[in-house]
Amino acid sequence: MSAPEIQALTVWQPWASAIAYGTKRIENRTWPTDHRGLVLIHAGRTTDPNAKEAPLARPFLRRPYPKGAIVAVARLEDCHTDDGWCTLWSARGRYHWRLTQVSPLAAPLPWPGARGLWTPPPGLLASPLLVEALEAARG
């Protein structure tokens, strides 16, 4: 059985918004992935308690941000081990998941998330809110 073309990733806030609406193109994880291709960015219901100390997070903490919703579609281009500070968003000692072609949804799409990479069900992928973002991320 082949791997699904599209996966989803739940990301704590404000980091999901920094991916969808900002310049965050590295997602830091403690584990690697072999998945390459489209990934839905899901804003989790949890806010990172350390975000207040992160200067790059401040613009996203000043406004309400969605929780428990798909906020963007991106292409996961690469996953590599920490090679130093490859971007301002990179964290030492983590795997750096490099995202490209990020396309925010016109409006957040409420949906429950899951841990790790998860396979979105067909009902979610059929949502009209996702169609345009999926097409843009496919390039």
- pLDDT tens profile 104-131: 999 999 999 999 899 999 989 989 989 8
Burial of 74 (0-12, 13-18, 19+ CB in 10 A): buried
Residue 58 within any structural domain of the chain: yes
Q: Which neighbouring-strand residues pair with 73?
A: 40, 103
Distance (Å) of CA 57 to CA 8, 21, 104: 22, 12, 18
What is the pLDDT at residue 83? 74
Confidence of residue 4 (pLDDT cuts 50, 70, 90): low
Residue 76 within any structural domain of the chain: yes
Tokens at 58, concatenated: 């401040």
What is the pLDDT at residue 24? 94
Instruction: Look up the CATH number of the domain holding residue 32.
Output: 2.30.130.30
* Mean pLDDT on 126-138: 85
Tokens at 110, concatenated: 């409420």
What is the pLDDT at residue 1? 42
Report the run of H or E that residue 19 belongs to, with start and end: helix 15-21
Whether residue 100 is predicted with pLDDT greater than 90 in this model: the reply is: yes
What is the pLDDT at residue 111? 96
Task: Determine the Cα–Cα distance for residues 99 and 97; give it in Å rounded to an integer.
Answer: 6
Residue 96 within any structural domain of the chain: yes
What is the pLDDT at residue 34? 95
Residue 1 within any structural domain of the chain: no
Structure-model confidence comparison of residues 90 and 84, the more confident one = 90
Residue among 27, 111, 23, 120 at smallest CA distance from 71: 111
What is the pLDDT at residue 139? 72
Residue 61 within any structural domain of the chain: yes
The total of structural domains in the chain comes to 1
Structural domain containing residue 24: 6-138
